[in-house]
Amino acid sequence: MNIIFATANKGKLREAAEILGEGWTLLTPADMGILEDIPETGNTLKENSIQKADYLFERLGCDCFADDTGLEVDALGGAPGVHSARYAGPGHDFDANIEKLLREMEGVPYEKRTARFRNVVTLIIGGEKHFFEGCMEGHIALQRSGTAGFGYDPVFVPDDFPGATVADLGEEVKNSISHRGKSLRAMAAWLSANTAAK
């Protein structure tokens, strides 16, 4: 069965395809002729993931899902949270976001650098919405390390592998412990139990 994932991120697509397995053909908005950025103007991760899934469903009328992620840093009162993508301001890249994060965390000792990635997936199937959530706990590193992944991966040390950043671990290990991996596996289990595709 076809299902559309509201992303242009190749890593996320590979991860979702692997988790969903053979019964599903994963398509992107671009595959369906939607080339513009999908708006995400909500105040929470859930609002954003609903907004992106609704955007696709209203235009295409087919089964789809969208996700939204935020990095919550305890020492920063939960920031950047829903603003994680634009933490250093509009038009800034991952590098600038990390730079700002490390600057804001200057002087905070390692044991107080606790943080987590939270992810919310909205699935619209048969016109109905279902939600799945995942979380990865860890610490913000004192400095960058590693080259794999994207976003804040070079400065996030997951509790599951306390000697490395997510960017040191590589895609396969990351997907087995990540916030998004957990939501997507919950969605895949739901699909497997509730649809005929598998």
Whether 153 sits among the annotated catalytic residues: the reply is no
Q: Which is nearer to ligand IMP, 59 or 100 (CB)?
A: 100
Q: Which stretch binds ligand IMP (CB under 6 A): 29-37, 146-154, 157-165, 183-191?
A: 146-154
68 scored as a contact of ligand IMP (CB under 6 A): yes
Can you point out the beta strands (E) in 46-158? 64-73, 80-81, 114-125, 128-140, 156-158
Number of residue whose CB is nearest ligand IMP:
151
122 scored as a contact of ligand IMP (CB under 6 A): no
CA dist 33 and 47 (Å) reads: 24
85 scored as a contact of ligand IMP (CB under 6 A): yes
Q: Catalytic residue, from 63, 67, 68, 153: name it.
A: 68
- For residue 145, give the 3-state DSSP assignment: coil
29 scored as a contact of ligand IMP (CB under 6 A): no
Chain positions contacting ligand IMP, by CB under 6 A: 68-69, 71, 84-85, 94, 97, 149-153, 178, 180
